[in-house]
Structure 1
């Protein structure tokens, strides 16, 4: 039985662990967080990614957990409605689509529940060094004892530690898209009922959606900016200050951001690399080809990439070089189309026709 270390316990890593375990690999997942991470925005599972979760047996559960929006309102800076739709929302697209919008934390939980009995999870730890030889990769951890694995996969996000250790500094591969996204939760002080509101004022704006039976709000706040230092306290301060400058509900949103335990803020950026593997180390999902939240396709790329990579490994378990070549050959056209969704229409969503093409641009059995 071949051994694989997967770094990252979000969506991509556990999805890969699920498929590798099914193919007879012994899998360890290491996650920096002390447990499953709560919070985060609603994510979309579209096109071929729906086929992946159906094959995982998760489709009925995911459909049951999907958001249930009736529509959305677009507001001006004073909170006056200037547009409304009962056919589509900015976050999920058409409401009559078969695609699924689900809270990130719910999808993470579903996949973890499918894998926790058969996959080793190391929470509260991280990779600190990789040393490869002809027999495998010796991995040092911040807490656990060093171990050797046949293969290592970095599924640890935009700021991947595995990518930095195996390929070099993030600056070589990260392409800033000119803005930042902050996501946080708060009480439903707007009394929204299955209805989103969106507001833009100059170079800042937000979308708000009710979740958990309309008892909570998830706020997605964006602002234009060049690259900023990755300092959590400083970013929270910037978000709070800019929210407070808004005329409509800015004060209450700023207060919510200031105290939110699930506060998140990071750059809108893409990862673009010539290769997603080096020796016995490969990258998956945002670590190798983050499309940015502007694409709406990060989760789908993670799910599809996990299925494709695991399938390639199952076909040639003893030849990692051939496996990783095949993985890239199959995924690169799909990744390119989905990354282009983020840049097709700066400041707005990609065309519906572009989304339809990109989300279905790969066959799982190809």
Structure 2
């Protein structure tokens, strides 16, 4: 009876046990591999960001010294990279060239004339993550001091499109409001804001990168970046007061000229270049152009179909696109009598809302030019990038 009872009991055979262990080992190996790749990828991405920031700091210090020097001076290798700083440990500086002269631990570049442009090249290497970042730029010579007036040419209504093309203006608005974590990127372009900036407060991730930034009215920024992180150096013109709450995340990359009062709190090194108060700045275009006659849009084959597609030309009332497809729509031109709203879409083209607002939300990406009464980035990680339409494209204003 006992033998019969034992023989009827079920159990796990050795083969089943070995199979289970093999499958478990494979799953653990796959999970570990994915985890390891993710960590390495994140480390490499963070390494690239760190290298870019450190390279920019080196160029910033070199530019400051070059443009503040009153006589010829020298640059030595050991002055460029302070490895005792925690953020720079593990980094090495290689292939350093100053004014076409190679410098290293034993050779300096002497007799540098601060009144002349200074070519600089170097490679910053993160040995641990096997990553590199190379800088090849030219530092401008020392500028003459003194107040100057800067003026933007006033276009008439017939030449507004020509004005945008000539100045590379890709954002031209009256009101400007940024929330979430947006990036406005046009390193060789121009941003024009005609009614000031009441506040930019993005928790450290808002940035407006452009070669020229023109703001008419008072400006207040916190936890944000204005100006290009790398070359070309930005010119930032503010016709009004400037209130900067520094902290660790706010930075003004470029030459700041302003007409009112300047207040900088929590970070005296928030500006990478000298700021200058001037007597007068800016003669802005006096208007945002109105929509053309409806007959013009019909002649140019605009329609009122709100289906998002390539080569779309829309004219009509307020329009909203909300699309979760991972697809880029090209050559999209929208001229709206009201608002334009983009949510989770990727569009290349032109957005024109002279009486309304352009709102970019979620993870949307827009590449092209925006002309509107108001621009809003309401949430998420939206991005606006500069791209001027080809000369054969008839602009809708």
- Which has the bigger relative contact order, CA under 8 A and spacing at least 6? 1
TM-score range for the pair, normalised by the shorter chain length:
under 0.3
Structure number with higher helix proportion: 1
| TM value normalised by structure 2 | 0.21
